Structure 1
Amino acid sequence: MDAIFSYLLPLVALFLSLSLIFRANKRDSGNLKLPPGKTGWPLVGESIIFALAGPERFISERMRKHSPDVFQTSLLGEKMAVFCGAPGNKFLFSNEKKLLTSWWPKSMKKALLFPEFVDDSLKEVAALSHGFLHEILKPEALKQYIPVMDSMARQHLDEEWIPNGEVKVFPVSKKYTFALACELFMSINDPKHIERLANPFTLVTSGMFSVPIDLPGTAYNGAIRGGKMVREELLSIIRQRRKELLEIKETKYHDMLSRMLLETDENGELLNEMTISNNIIGMLVASYETTSTAVTFVLNYLAELPHIYEAVFKEQMEIAKSKGPGELLKWEDIEKMKYSWNVAREALRLMPPGQGAFREATTDFTYAGFTIPKGWKTFWTVHSTHRNPKYFPNPEKFDPSRFDGSGPAPYTFVPFGGGPRMCPGKEYARLEVLVFMHNVVTRFKLEKAIANEKVIYHSSPTPMSGVPVRLYPHEK
């Protein structure tokens, strides 16, 4: 209910302020053949309908009613063209920097970035972050983190799972993925320090995609407050680490923060504190929300489908038996987890943590016979392909074999996006999910405590009861 009220409050404010009522866009009322669809109420648009219906239903209904190729709507206070299907995904992924440029909703910018960047050259900041993150999150750089992931997963299960006969997977997964990110990104392992960073992230992730009206009680207002607390804490960490590196004249990095502090731009200048903070915030948000959501639904399906669990258990036990006492996982072990990764990908198909991404049209262009005017925002979404029977026969069935061989057709399975802006954390997420799967299934058999648990949507799918599962430890 809190999520619903956070969207309804801006609507009430809208009607109290007559100055916000409908301003027609003269450009759109001309002779342009715009995509079919409706824009809903002034300012609020169809954001409330989107929140109440959920993204999958919202998208599929409009594809049927308006167009399977592209339709118009208004979300987050912006006129928007939603591109659908594999051709729509391909078009947007292929035209980055040609017809389109990166665009973030105001709610994301205000919550995540420093105020100086919100109205400044966001495109430059985004480009720097994306290229830099690709470099530090590529497989060669991540191999060294696998033993740390494994060690922390073991410790987490000992402390949070073993003492209990039942756990709620979603909250404990968030706790684990965020603690792991703090360790790998910033070498922070003090539980109280981690908690100071984690608490505001709940506010940030709940309001990242909300109607941009800053009133007490709204998700947008909460996201701004949470973002401010996170940035203040990170600045303190960055300044302290920079001081330490200067004092010892360190030239090597031990974590991602150290690398960022030692990195220079094309002019040979060290990265400034705000840029470093923006990069760290992006990675922490992904760890707190999207990676933990992926882990949660992978384990949800393992608890729900015994035959899938048994096949994963067999593969993971073969790996476990090849290890010496106390020996940690390494890259070669991850590469053997082929069936387990197919299972994880099928979970990502059915319950994708990310919903899609936005772009902005930099010029008028046509697609599927319709004109997208310059300045309009575009949106590609996982929900136009992932459960579409055109691309995935019998789409509601959990079937890891879809990913055998060459896998699904291009541009149909897009949990990490595609093109030059594909999620730089894809490999990090793969390693984290597989390491956690290995530790859970080699220690427990899982059983769902609630069948058909309801899922609601914030920035990611959220299980209402947190996916409670009963634990049955394997005999040693």
Structure 2
Amino acid sequence: MGMDMEVTELLTFPALLALLVFVLSVPFITKFVKTRKHPNLNLPPGSLGWPVIGETFEFLRRGYEGEPELFIRERMEKYDSRVFKTSLLGEPMIMFCGAAGNKFLFSNENKDVQVWWPTSVRKLLRSSLVTKVGYEAKTMRKLLMSFLNPEALKNYLAKMDTVACCHITNHWQGKEDVLVYPTVKLYAFELACCLFASIEDAILVFKLSPQFDEFLKGVISFPINLPGTRFHRAMKAADAIREELKLIIKKRRVDLEEKRASPTQDLLSYLLVTSDSSGRFLTEKEIIDNILLLLFAGHDTSRSVITSVIQYLGRMPHVYEQVLEEQLEISKGKEAGQLLQWEDIQKMKYLWNVASEVMRLSPPVTGSYREALNNFTYAGYTIPKGWKLSWSTSSSHKDPAFFPDPDHFDASRFEGAGPTPFSYAPFGGGPRMCLGQEFARLEILVFMHNIVKRFKWWLLIPNEKFLHDPMLKPSKGLSIRLQPLQI
């Protein structure tokens, strides 16, 4: 759950006009009026803000200023540290806070709650896994996990390492200064295109990349499909990407039939030839929507985390030196050009502890959403059926009860058994935990292993602010100065 819309965009005439149309639409007004007609319910304390708009502007503003946790923290302090009500993106919403809130939501999937996403997400990702619930979600998730589980990903580790090495050679080597965020985006997007759909044509990748940027910016937004809005641009971008994927699928079917493509070469081939547990094959529309989902999720979260790790290592030379020592030890004894093996990944314990602490302090996303399936009681308050629910990474990641001196960087928090269950949730939890968690872990570790071995770096803007739009990103792209290592 990230921030997606600049307040300045909302002040343009087309956007204001679109917002007016949105506010005056009868279904949304009716829903909000009904919400306010329940004074006798023992709802959690909080404010619903303006009709329909609610507290969305403040929510978005905090994210765009790089302080999304303040929206949560201020209301936890003002109302109740366990739970409060608000209204976001046209929906009355209950915000569950802390590890206890995470535990309740993650443990009650398909019981008292089920996954829910704003209208913008549902319209953009259509028939993909994120819009499915219940048995349908379970079977689709199982099918996708057959490709994304650790055992399956072992087969793609060499390709990941090759893509990372080539990317660094082409875009980092020989450079004095690098703008990290857009450069890492190239790696993450190239890798996702390669592993999910064998898209390796540089021209096509270059064509798709800006379309994905437009798509991403509209994922969490007011669903106003009028020119001038982010949602409209995102819809157009998604349609263009789908057309490209249709052409790729058409060609792949022929290639599979004529044995020019392998059923296991990527996720696309796998979905075309594999049925779910009930024997049903995904429709072409479902395959396209799930490839679109994974191309989006498989590159954007990772580029955010990699960029943040590079920033933290630039700030803390002593941590960088420990990471370097571990990676050099892994490389010792390997022949020149020998690719990473699965056992090498398992040795990157300190590097992953560092990445985990970075995600605790600077999570790439700020949470996600659920919907109440029944009326139920939580923390002594009534949660009405149909209300939208949300949880926040920052409310538990910065809780001193679980992470003493929570603003201090300390990778040792993740040694041994690690954090208390439900206190650390950068990938969510429960049955709806991020499908690509293991893929992201490999992507981050492989890239950082290769970059740390080849360069040391300095931040050219040491205190650069990171903001959510909707994913965490540096406001100026994170410019660094490189020094090649002589090892």
Report the identity percentage. 46
Aligned to 1:43: 52
> Whole-Å Cα distance in 2 between the matches of residues 216 and 2 of structure 1?
15
> SS of the counterpart of 1:148?
helix
Question: Retained in 2: the 8 A contact 1:316–1:438?
Answer: yes
Match of 1:199 among 181, 190, 210: 210
- Give the 3 Å change call, closer, same or farther, for CA 194–369 of structure 1 in structure 2: same
- Give the 3 Å change call, closer, same or farther, for CA 13–273 of structure 1 in structure 2: closer
> Whole-Å Cα distance in 1 between the matches of residues 42 and 94 of structure 2?
13
**Structure 2 residue 84 is the aligned partner of structure 1 residue 84:** no
Q: CA RMSD in A?
A: 2.2
Instruction: Give the drift of 1:215.
Output: 2.3
Aligned to 2:162: 151
Aligned to 1:69: 82
> Whole-Å Cα distance in 2 between the matches of residues 184 and 232 of structure 1?
19
Instruction: Give the drift of 1:300.
Output: 1.0
Structure 2: which 5+ runs fail to align?
A: none
Match of 1:369 among 380, 390, 395: 380
> Whole-Å Cα distance in 1 between the matches of residues 133 and 396 of structure 2?
30
> Whole-Å Cα distance in 2 between the matches of residues 121 and 417 of structure 1?
17
Could you give the per-residue CA deviations for residues 54-110 of structure 1, whole angstroms, max 9, x where no partner exists?
221111111111111111111111111110000000000000000111212111122
TM-score, with structure 2 as normaliser:
0.92
> Whole-Å Cα distance in 2 between the matches of residues 28 and 427 of structure 1?
45
Could you give the per-residue CA deviations for residues 136-159 of structure 1, whole angstroms, max 9, x where no partner exists?
111100011111111111111111
Structure 1: which 5+ runs fail to align?
A: none
Question: Retained in 2: the 8 A contact 1:355–1:459?
Answer: no
Question: One-letter code of the match for 1:85?
Answer: G
> SS of the counterpart of 2:464?
coil
**Structure 2 residue 124 is the aligned partner of structure 1 residue 111:** yes
Could you give the per-residue CA deviations for residues 349-372 of structure 1, whole angstroms, max 9, x where no partner exists?
111112211111111111001111
Could you give the per-residue CA deviations for residues 108-152 of structure 1, whole angstroms, max 9, x where no partner exists?
1222226xx89x976666444422222211110001111111111
Instruction: Give the drift of 1:380.
Output: 1.2
Match of 1:332 among 323, 343, 361: 343
**Structure 2 residue 406 is the aligned partner of structure 1 residue 403:** no
Could you give the per-residue CA deviations for residues 228-269 of structure 1, whole angstroms, max 9, x where no partner exists?
111111122112212221233977421111111111134534
Question: Retained in 2: the 8 A contact 1:170–1:292?
Answer: yes
> SS of the counterpart of 1:385?
helix
Q: Which stretch shifts more, 266-275 or 305-314?
A: 266-275
Aligned to 1:5: 8
Aligned to 1:305: 316
Q: Which stretch shifts more, 93-102 or 281-290?
A: 281-290
Question: Retained in 1: the 8 A contact 2:96–2:391?
Answer: yes
Aligned to 1:265: 276
> Whole-Å Cα distance in 1 between the matches of residues 22 and 107 of structure 2?
41
> Whole-Å Cα distance in 1 between the matches of residues 36 and 229 of structure 2?
32
Q: Which stretch shifts more, 431-440 or 245-254?
A: 245-254
Match of 1:212 among 213, 223, 234: 223
Could you give the per-residue CA deviations for residues 31-74 of structure 1, whole angstroms, max 9, x where no partner exists?
21111111112222111111111221111111111111111111
> Whole-Å Cα distance in 1 between the matches of residues 21 and 248 of structure 2?
43
Aligned to 2:24: 19
Instruction: Give the drift of 1:426.
Output: 0.9
Question: Retained in 2: the 8 A contact 1:125–1:275?
Answer: no
Aligned to 1:456: 467
- Give the 3 Å change call, closer, same or farther, for CA 50–297 of structure 1 in structure 2: same
Question: One-letter code of the match for 1:277?
Answer: I
Question: One-letter code of the match for 2:7?
Answer: I
- Give the 3 Å change call, closer, same or farther, for CA 241–69 of structure 1 in structure 2: same
Question: Retained in 1: the 8 A contact 2:19–2:224?
Answer: no
Could you give the per-residue CA deviations for residues 278-326 of structure 1, whole angstroms, max 9, x where no partner exists?
2211111112311110111111111111000000000001111221111
Instruction: Give the drift of 1:412.
Output: 0.7
Question: Retained in 2: the 8 A contact 1:39–1:45?
Answer: yes
Instruction: Give the drift of 1:20.
Output: 4.4
Q: Which stretch shifts more, 8-17 or 45-54?
A: 8-17
- Give the 3 Å change call, closer, same or farther, for CA 14–278 of structure 1 in structure 2: closer
Question: Retained in 2: the 8 A contact 1:7–1:219?
Answer: no
**Structure 2 residue 329 is the aligned partner of structure 1 residue 318:** yes
Aligned residues: 474
